């Protein structure tokens, strides 16, 4: 039996197919999010099925998650991304106790109990600081690609202080730093520290290790290091960080 998880995020749609017995991933795919959310999700789903050589009628259940979950009309049910990331990360990293997930439009901190169920969670979503689109803005400002941010940050010797917690004001601040001759690598390093501080504020003082970092922003090199240095805890990268929500959704689809 095959179960599917569809994570319709703000920036990307992710699909995972899981073998409901062995919990093995049978196929996966990622596509950019757009206007026609349902059609995009369906196309990606069919594409992933075709590549995995699995007929549509072998998929017994589909769970949709992510902010666009209610637009995935062909899903059997929806479950929030908080529960899905918890299940997905715990499947890939069985001893995870704290999950940091940074996506396109929000960041989450999820604490698990010893059974792997959600103990509590905090979300930052009232402003862009501490999210993927904040980093996108910075990359755009500096004229580089999102994936090059990490390499650039690695060259930094002195991270710039970014004090604005509002993405709009932070952009103004970055323009000012560039004008005053601050090196782009120091700006990027400063921005990463600012994003990490935002997440640390959600965590409060209670961080239970192991800490696992997931979500699309985890694909950006150096972000995990920035988080670890602010949290003062080792932070490991989840395998398949962009897919943990979809994996969790697929596993939850097989449980019912």
Partner 1 sequence: MSQCCGKPPVEPKPTDPCKPPEPAVCGGSPAAAGAAECPLTYFRRMIPNCLAYAKAARQQGRPIVGIMCEYAPRELIMAAGGVPVCLCGGANETIPAAEEILPSTLCPLIKSTFGYHVLKSNPFLEMADLVVAETTCDGKKKMFELMAESRPTYTLELPQKENDADARAHWAAEIRKFKRELEIRFGRPITHEALRKAIAVMNRERRLRRELAALMKASPPPLTGRELLDFKSSISGIPEDYEQYEKALRMLREKRPCPSLASRVRVLLTGVPLVHGAERVLDIIEGHGGLVVCQENCTGLKPILEDVELNGGDPLDALAEKYYRIPCSVHTANERRMESLRNLAREYQAQCVLELIWQACLTYDIESHRVKRLAEQELGLPYLRIETDYSPSDSARIAVRVEALCETVRQR
Residues of this chain that interact with partner 1 (CB under 8 A) are: 67, 79-83, 106, 117-121, 123, 125-126
235 CA to centre of own chain: 14
CB 94 to partner 1: min, Å: 17
Q: Which DSSP state fits 64?
A: E
CB 71 to partner 1: min, Å: 12
Q: How far apart are CA 203 and CA 122, in angstroms?
A: 8
CB 40 to partner 1: min, Å: 19
Pairing mode of beta strands 12-19, 2-8: antiparallel
Alpha-carbon torsion (215, 150, 29, 92), positive or negative: negative
- Angle between helices 132-142 and 167-179 in degrees, nearest 10: 30
Output 77 or 236, the one with its CB closest to partner 1: 77
What is the DSSP annotation of 123-150? EE-SSSTTSHHHHHHHHHHHT--GGGHH
CB 81 to partner 1: min, Å: 7
- CB atoms near residue 170 (< 10 Å): 23
Q: What are phi and psi of 114, to 5 degrees?
A: -65, -25
Output 103 or 150, the one with its CB closest to partner 1: 103
Instruction: Supply 219's token pair.
Output: 């694909």
CB 8 to partner 1: min, Å: 12
Instruction: Supply 126's token pair.
Output: 């009232």
Output 46 or 125, the one with its CB closest to partner 1: 125
CB 249 to partner 1: min, Å: 12
Alpha-carbon torsion (67, 86, 221, 206), positive or negative: positive
14-41 b/e (C-beta count within 10 Å ≥ 16 → b): bbbbbebeeeebbbbbbbebeeebeebb
Output 119 or 151, the one with its CB closest to partner 1: 119
Output 26 or 203, the one with its CB closest to partner 1: 203
Q: How far apart are CA 99 and CA 209, in angstroms?
A: 9
Output 110 or 187, the one with its CB closest to partner 1: 110
CB 101 to partner 1: min, Å: 12
Output 127 or 228, the one with its CB closest to partner 1: 127
């Amino acid at each position: 039996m095959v179960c599917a998880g569809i994570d319709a995020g703000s920036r990307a749609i992710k699909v995972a197919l899981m073998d409901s017995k062995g919990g093995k991933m049978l196929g996966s795919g990622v596509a950019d999010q757009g206007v026609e959310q349902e059609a995009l999700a369906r196309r990606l789903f069919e594409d992933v099925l075709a590549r995995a050589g699995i007929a549509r009628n072998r998929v017994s259940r589909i769970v949709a998650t992510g902010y666009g979950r209610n637009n995935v009309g062909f899903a059997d049910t929806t479950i929030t991304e908080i529960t899905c990331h918890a299940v997905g990360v715990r499947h890939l990293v069985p001893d995870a106790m704290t999950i940091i997930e940074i996506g396109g439009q929000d960041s989450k901190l999820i604490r698990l109990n010893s059974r792997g169920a959600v103990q509590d969670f905090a979300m930052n979503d009232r402003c862009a600081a501490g999210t993927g689109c904040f980093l996108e803005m910075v990359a755009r400002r500096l004229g580089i690609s999102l994936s090059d941010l990490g390499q650039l940050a690695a060259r930094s010797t002195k991270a710039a202080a970014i004090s604005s917690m509002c993405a709009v004001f932070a952009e103004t601040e970055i323009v000012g730093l560039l004008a005053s001759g601050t090196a782009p690598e120091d700006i990027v390093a400063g921005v990463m520290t600012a994003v990490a501080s935002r997440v640390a504020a959600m965590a409060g003082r209670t961080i239970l290790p192991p800490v696992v970092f997931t979500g699309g922003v985890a694909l950006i090199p150096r972000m995990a290091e920035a988080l670890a240095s602010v949290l003062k805890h080792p932070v490991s990268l989840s395998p398949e960080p962009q897919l943990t929500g979809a994996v969790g959704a697929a596993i939850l689809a097989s449980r019912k």
